[in-house]
Each structure stands twice: as structure tokens, then as C-alpha cells.
Copies of this chain bind each other. A is one copy, B any other.
Amino acid sequence: MISSTNKFEQLSDEKQSRIVNASISEFSEKDYESASMNSVVSQAKISKGSLFNYFKTKNILYNHIYKLALGEVKDYLRKVRDETANLPFNERLSEIVDSGVKFITEHPRLARIYFRLVYSGDSPNRKKIVKELQSMSEDYLGNIMQDAMDRNELDPKLDKTQSVFFLDAVLNRFLKEYHETLSKGKQLDRDNWVNSITELFSKGFK
């Protein structure tokens, strides 16, 4: 039962990270279709034959990179969820947004791959992956909403699926915007935005 990345995993750490690094750059800068194995190869300073020896196809390389990115996102989310378990909903929400902002700042290229995946049209298993992400988000935000509902902080008659959908929509869109302004060198007033987001969900526009 040997994984298909076996050959890759047996390389030196240094070479592995050169390849991963080059792949992240390529997939974060271009759509899946436009990303070029030749470009990865030349950035990583290995030969084409080697790359295809480590990863049989572009698809397999992409999956490796995407799982890596997603793994990092999950770690972040898990951490903030656990660390804020006892905070009230509003503060918890605020911490989640904050940790998203932090992730984007620390891993802009991974964030780019994530947004490209979620919002863009191509990439081979996009539908499956997006479904997976969606259920992950539903699970994650759903738990946090449930906690708040159990504590009577939120209306218990809320439709959880829909509420989670709205939360997810606003959070994702904000983080996407933050990511884009960041890569333009601008800066949003983070605290102000975080505040507005929690206000929106706590009392609407009234």
C-alpha cells in the first residue's frame, strides 16, 4: 500500500520544498489550465522527467498542493475554534475573522490557491473539492452557531443551514477582499470591518 507520492516523499527535504514552493507559486499565479509544468520545473530547478517521475500527472501534483493548502487552513480553523470555545458568539466571530486575516497575511499564496479554487471555474475535481469545503464550512460554522444557540445568544428558530450560508458568504467575501487589497499594497481598517460584520449578524441594518 504505497502512496503515489512515495517517490516524492523520499527526496531530501530541501528538494521537496523547492518543488512544493515552485508549485505553490505556479498554481497561485495561474488557473489550473494555464499553470505550466515546464514553469514549475524551471522554477524548482529540476528536470521535467524528474517532476513527472515524482508526480505522474499535473492533476496529481495539483491535488498534492491543494491538500497541503487545505491542511494549513484546517489547522488554523481548528486552533481558533478550540481556543475560543468559551467566548460569546460575537467575540468568537471576531476571532475567526481575525485568524482568517492572519492566515492570509502569513500565507498569501496558499490563500490565493484557496480563493482560486473556490471561486474559479476550472481545476479538475473542483466540484468534489468545493462540496468537501462546503460541508467542512457548514460543519465548522454550524457548530459555532449551535453553541451560540444553546446559550441563547442567537434566535433558536433560525434555519441553521441558511444562517451558516450567510455567515460563510460574508466571511469569505470579506477575506477575499482583504486578500486582494493586501496584494495591492493597500490596507483595510481591520478592526472596523470586524466590528461591522459582528454587528450585521447581531442586529442587521436596523
Q: Which residues of A contact B (CB under 8 A)?
A: 30-31, 33-34, 116, 119-122, 145, 154-155, 158-159, 162-163, 165-166, 168-170, 172-174, 177, 193, 196-197, 199-206
Q: With a CB–CB cut-off of 8 A, which chain B residues contact A162?
A: 193, 196
Contact call A166/B120, Cβ cutoff below 8 A: no
Looking at the assembled complex, report how far the CB atom of A178 sits from the nearest CB atom of chain B, in whole angstroms: 11
5 closest A-B pairs by beta carbon, nearest first, are A119-B119, A169-B173, A204-B204, A120-B120, A203-B204
Contact call B193/A201, Cβ cutoff below 8 A: no
Please report the C-alpha to C-alpha distance between residue A173 and residue B164 in the assembled complex, in whole angstroms: 12
Contact call B200/A206, Cβ cutoff below 8 A: no
Please report the C-alpha to C-alpha distance between residue A33 and residue B32 in the assembled complex, in whole angstroms: 10
Contact call A177/B165, Cβ cutoff below 8 A: yes
Q: With a CB–CB cut-off of 8 A, which chain B residues contact A197?
A: 166
Q: With a CB–CB cut-off of 8 A, which chain B residues contact A33?
A: 31, 33-34
Please report the C-alpha to C-alpha distance between residue A168 and residue B169 in the assembled complex, in whole angstroms: 10
| One of B116, B145, B170, B202 near A166 (C-beta < 8 A) | B170
Q: With a CB–CB cut-off of 8 A, which chain B residues contact A119?
A: 119-121
Q: With a CB–CB cut-off of 8 A, which chain B residues contact A122?
A: 30-31, 34
Contact call B205/A163, Cβ cutoff below 8 A: yes
Given contacts A162-B196, A201-B204, contact A120 B170 (CB under 8 A): no
Q: Which residue of B lies closest to A171 (CB)?
A: B169
Please report the C-alpha to C-alpha distance between residue A204 and residue B204 in the assembled complex, in whole angstroms: 4
Looking at the assembled complex, report how far the CB atom of A108 sits from the nearest CB atom of chain B, in whole angstroms: 14
Given contacts A120-B120, A122-B31, contact A155 B193 (CB under 8 A): no
Contact call B203/A121, Cβ cutoff below 8 A: no
